[in-house]
Amino acid sequence: MGDKNMNITRDKIITWIEAFSAAIAENKVYLTDLDSAIGDGDHGVNMDRGFQAVLTKLPSVSNQDIGAILKVVGMTLVSTVGGASGPLYGTFFIQMARKTNGKLELTLDDWIATIESGLDGVIRRGKANPGDKTMIDSILPALEALKTAAGNDKSLAEALSASAQAAHQGMEDTIPLVAKRGRASYLGERSAGHQDPGATSSYLLFKTAAEVLP
């Protein structure tokens, strides 16, 4: 893993945040439609508002370390995104920041530890378990795929691609689930048959990572 090209640089992290912001904007209506079926109908709109705010803040931290950049992303989301997704996504990025403080580039192992820290924060904050039909159902399989890839000596690009595929599968796997957390849980059995919007936006997180980070 000593090859410099194999690491995730600070500039690539910024490119990733920009790419994810663009993916959210592009899928705003789709995410809101998914949320209209089982939630408040505002996930896409709220996430887009948050990441448009993030984009305005990025230039001011683009010369700082990765931890500082991710912390600004998290804090901005907490302060600008309504509903449950603001605190949860905010916590995800703030916890990622804790693992990347002072770093200007990340190895695959660093990236795994960073995602794991973010996931742990979301689980604590949202008090959800795998299978509860939440964003965790995309993030956890993505993390497990990263760990498997690293254990098999895969390249960064291969590991990121595997994590995106796993997140996509996790997203689709939420369709038959009955929601146990959040607004969707009020619907009980009627929440089955709908794809979870949080798991969908989380998939976009790993999809854009696979596209721009290697």
Q: What is the pLDDT along the chain (214 residues), one digit of tens a residue?
A: 334 458 999 999 999 999 999 999 999 999 999 999 998 899 999 999 999 999 999 999 999 999 999 999 999 999 999 888 999 999 999 999 999 999 999 999 999 999 999 999 999 999 999 999 999 999 999 999 999 999 999 999 999 999 999 999 999 999 999 999 888 888 889 999 999 999 999 999 999 999 999 9
Provide the pLDDT for residue 2: 39
d(CA 86, CA 11): 25
Closest CA to 174 of 141, 132, 207: 132
**What residues contact residue 126 under an 8 Å CB cut-off, 6+ apart?**
84, 88, 134, 136, 181, 182
pTM of the model: 0.95
151-155 long-range contacts (CB < 8 A, ≥24 apart) are 155/6, 155/214
Q: Domains for the chain: give ranges and CATH numbers.
A: 4-212 (1.25.40.340)
DSSP 37-99: HHS-S-HHHHHHHHHHHHHHHHHHHTTS-HHHHHHHHHHHHHHH--TTHHHHHHHHHHHHHHH
Question: Helices in the chain by DSSP H: which ranges?
Answer: 10-26, 28-38, 43-61, 66-80, 85-100, 108-126, 136-151, 156-173, 197-212
Residue with tokens 């969908």: 200
**What residues contact residue 72 under an 8 Å CB cut-off, 6+ apart?**
54, 57, 58, 60, 61
First to last CA, the chain: 13
